[in-house]
Amino acid sequence: MLINGEWLNDTRAFPVFNPATGEEIGQVADGTAQDAARAVDAASAALPAWMNETAYARSAVLDRAYQLMLEQQRELAELMTREQGKPLKASMNEVKYAADFLLWFAEEAKRVYGETIPSARSDQRFLVQKQAVGVVAAVTPWNYPVSMLTRKLGPALAAGCTVVLKPAESTPLCAIAVFKIFEEAGLPSGVANLVTASDPKPIGEVFCTHPAVRKLTFTGSTPVGKHLAQACAPQLKRVSMELGGHAPFIVYDDADPVHAAKGVSLVKFLNTGQACISPNRIFVQRRILDPFLETLQTRVGGMQAGDGMDPANSIGPLINEAAIDKVDRQVQDAVSHGATLLAGGSRLTEGGLDRGCFYDATLLSDVTPEMLIYREETFGPVAAVVPFDDEDDVIAMANDTDYGLAAYIYTQNLARALRTFEQLQFGIIGINDINPTSAAAPFGGMKESGLGREGAREGIEEYLETKLGGLSI
């Protein structure tokens, strides 16, 4: 743990495992509620100096961290692949994506503007100023263990906030590596603090109840996000939540079915399907269903699972045994209710894969609303295809979910694309685009997929308070 600039290793520890091999790859400090409280106190003590530092000075630290992250891209990526499991190429891409947030918010730090407002009184002037919200508590997930840190730390530090972060218990080594980069970049002691723990509940309770914490930012499941938001309510803490998704992927009959199937295969199996914007329900207009399925079946059948360090492998492990059980339960339920299994459908154990948490890349067709996979977020390597006939029907089916994070549309008809874009109740929509994300673009969902936005100029606003000054002259 890092508290007030001091690395603490002489405490209880818990092991970290490689999900591809089951091998223990490290031990990290097992933090307690008392550690979390000390970290919050350190962040509170460091707040005045950091908040009153010039925007240019804060920007310089973030820019230096950006440079260091790029210099250490390979080392960070290899650590990520060992700890989280994703193929090395995907880990390299994530480190670059993570660095982009540092660069973007290094620039945004210098663009936090105020304004003057005319008054009806001749002897009065109004001044509006934006100031840091204060101490921020951050909780990050395991599926993107580097970029989710910088997407929160970047804007918080740029705004002048101080931070206490608890990473996912499955991927603390990546968080430690990121904090060492900030330390090397010259971030003052206490400005960013790291509390690792095997049990997140006591840490979360401190984050939600400590009076010095003025904002909680969380990325994770919707049930946990709701619980944390409720716990923050008595003190009216600011919260931002990036929660679960159940993304529809709509392929209209004027789209090229081969091109669309290739797009689905790339985004659905990215990070072994363990992404909140991963397509869960793939709606294909019936007229092009056969060529779409033929292409997708070929691509899914050709995917090779294994250790992410081997460039021949395109599918990594799931994060743990519980993830394997959830995916298999959904697949078996779908098949028992009439879905057609076109590829995969079982855990992989041959060739040493039994030591890890591997599930075969799976393709299901004829999926219907009665199946679990139609309703539940999967977070695994399963493509579920649902045929449809009518445009109005597919929009209604796509919106028939409590989630509202991401959606995708494939069509060559501009009017149809705009109609669908406007009617879908999702915060992020890719139109013939499987990667509608960037540090420069606002990321976040509607309905039970979250509150607030990360990235873009909206990202720094989440960490700022508006202060009004009325002057009588």
Just list the catalytic residues: 242, 276
The 10 Å CB-count burial string (b at 16+, else e) for 224-257 is: bbeebbebbeeeebbbbbbbbbbbbbbbbbebbb
Best CA proximity match to 145, nearest among 185, 173, 183, 182: 173
The first and second tokens of residue 426, run together, are 């999702």
Best CA proximity match to 124, nearest among 473, 445, 452, 372: 473
Residues facing 194 on adjacent strands: 2, 165
Task: Give the β-pairing of 279-285 and 382-388.
Answer: parallel
CA-based angle 84:86:90, to the nearest 5?
130
d(CA 313, CA 81): 12
Is-contact 345 324, C-beta < 8 A?
Answer: no
How many other β-carbons are positioned within 10 Å of the β-carbon of residue 423?
Answer: 13
